[in-house]
Structure 1
Amino acid sequence: MQILEGAEPIHSAGVGERADTAVLLMHGMTSSPQMVRPVAEHLAEQGFTVSAPLLPGHGTRWQDMARTRYADWLAATVTAAEQLRAGHRTVVCFGLSLGGALVTDVAAHRPDLVDGLVLVNPAFAATDWRLRVIPTLKHVVPVAQGLADDILREGPPRELAYKWTPLRAFDSFTEQWPRLVRELPQVRQPVLLMRSRHDKIVPPLSAETFLAEVGSTDVTVQWLEESAHVATLDHDGDSLIAATLDFVDKVARGD
């Protein structure tokens, strides 16, 4: 299928002293690499190797996503991490929302692939009552209203994502949450967790659950006071990028 303009994967080879450090950036559900592009481009400008793949079923039309499941997205994330590890000494994984859960899953099961995690509003739990009916509703209704564009800042760029959320695909993710939480103690890499104060998509419970269960003893929490869910495109974008850059440098140095 034809990829939507702006939703293309992002890949950039590193240059100079930082070229041996790679950053894998994973986008959120129904979205595309466009949501992490500002971070990817800045890291590339600083000399890091950067890869922001397009998850299966994303960046084209929602009907394509409806045929994919969490296992497909996880497999794509593992493959991307393996490719980076093959040619780089250090690999840091950055993930927003679904992307955050995916890179955390990889860190738990393939610690050889991940040296550090940057998580922005990762999804591991929720309190919305509607989640309880999705396992039944998905057999009757194919889609629900989209999750895109939770951004406080007015004007472009807006998030490039589907207007509809395929319910079978979405449910394949939420049904993984109990397993992901059980396995959080296996995550022992350094973590930078960034939380948006005005997130309307992922509730505080998700980050609180992560912090209570993660096995790492090196976890830094940074609040994004003027941002909603898609913090990479919101008011705190510059501070998010700066914090990510500092963290990647820290992991690369082995601090």
Structure 2
Amino acid sequence: MSPTSPVTVVPGAQPFSADGGRIGVLLSHGFTGSPASMIPWGKHLADEGFSVRVPRLPGHGTTWKDMNRTRWEDWYAELDTALTDLQSHCDKVVVAGLSMGGCLALRLAQQRPGDVDALSLVNPAINLARFDVKLVPALQWLVPAMPGIGNDIKKAGGDEVGYDKTPLKALASQLKMWKDVRANLNKVTQPLILFRSDDDHVVDITSKDLILAGVSSDVKEFVELKDSYHVATLDNDAPKIFERTSAFIAEHVGKISD
């Protein structure tokens, strides 16, 4: 595929945008996922009066082979552009992310501290304790992909419209971003709410512990999710995530009617 070839986005993976009030929320999906995992949350926020952006990260929502030609800088650039766009409509912006989206949100907070007013992270990923992760930098040159990690959802019928394979060159790039974000956690000063599922079959507890111990935020709220797996934004605890985040924004950023 050449750089100018049209990209065919699979049904359900299209981005979402809504212009509302002067408080905006930027939502990022995770690695090999798609906007489908965040759009119900985005629509909930839009119904409450927020301005909302749910971008599709490059290489996602098409084919895993497309994704293997992208790198973390591409995904971050897309989110960075979406933040700038949202700022043109809003006085304050909250960034929310699922899994790798949480890592991207943290990096935005590190790189653009004056432009990010709060963070909401759901099962954020900045580390994995699994031994085989250490082999990825070498494995990426031997095999193109491993089995997928998508749709870790307890609730029947959930679909994040992700890939059934994990592209290894893209994964190796994500590991580099994790290292960068971990090294700069102390630069995060914004109010932060972090949700974590008790039963997450994708991201282990080390990410949560590193984030809460490493950020410099005065406000750090942790919420345990007892009835969801990794893609909690589409799972049984989704209403809890949506409602607690809106309350957190009202308390620490401002009310939508302000």
Whether these two folds match at TM > 0.5 is yes
Alignment map for 1:53-202 (pairs within 5 Å): 53-154=55-156, 156-202=157-203
- Offset of 1:153 from its aligned partner? 1.5
- Offset of 1:159 from its aligned partner? 2.0
- Offset of 1:252 from its aligned partner? 3.1
- Offset of 1:251 from its aligned partner? 3.3
- Offset of 1:178 from its aligned partner? 2.4
- Offset of 1:11 from its aligned partner? 0.2
Gaps of 5+ in 2: 1-6
Aligned length: 249
- Offset of 1:205 from its aligned partner? 0.7
Matched position secondary structure for 1:11: strand
Determine the structure 2 residue equivalent to 1:12.
Answer: 18
Q: Distance in 2 between matches of 1:80 and 1:21?
A: 14
Deviations 1:176-200 (A, max 9, x none): 2222111000000000100111011
Deviations 1:20-54 (A, max 9, x none): 01100000011111001111110011111010000
Match of 1:52 among 51, 54, 59: 54
- Offset of 1:219 from its aligned partner? 0.6
Is 1:3 paired with 2:5?
Answer: no
- Offset of 1:87 from its aligned partner? 2.2
Letter in 2 for 1:11: S
Q: Distance in 1 between matches of 2:148 and 2:252?
A: 35
Q: Distance in 1 between matches of 2:212 and 2:149?
A: 24
- The CA RMSD measured in Å over matched residues stands at 1.1
Q: Distance in 2 between matches of 1:52 and 1:250?
A: 23
> Which segments of structure 1 move beyond 3 Å, counting only runs of 4 or more?
none
- Offset of 1:249 from its aligned partner? 2.0
Matched position secondary structure for 1:107: helix
Matched position secondary structure for 2:38: helix
Q: Distance in 2 between matches of 1:178 and 1:136?
A: 17
Matched position secondary structure for 2:114: helix
Q: Distance in 2 between matches of 1:206 and 1:252?
A: 25
TM-score, structure 1 as length reference: 0.95
Alignment map for 1:211-250 (pairs within 5 Å): 211-250=212-251
Q: Distance in 2 between matches of 1:247 and 1:123?
A: 21
Identity %: 39
The answer to whether the Cα contact below 8 Å between 2:36 and 2:159 also exists between their aligned partners in 1 is no
Letter in 2 for 1:169: A
Determine the structure 1 residue equivalent to 2:4.
Answer: none
TM-score, structure 2 as length reference: 0.94
Q: Distance in 1 between matches of 2:240 and 2:188?
A: 25
Q: Distance in 2 between matches of 1:65 and 1:178?
A: 20
Q: Distance in 2 between matches of 1:51 and 1:250?
A: 21
Q: Distance in 1 between matches of 2:114 and 2:59?
A: 27
Gaps of 5+ in 1: none
The answer to whether the Cα contact below 8 Å between 2:158 and 2:235 also exists between their aligned partners in 1 is no
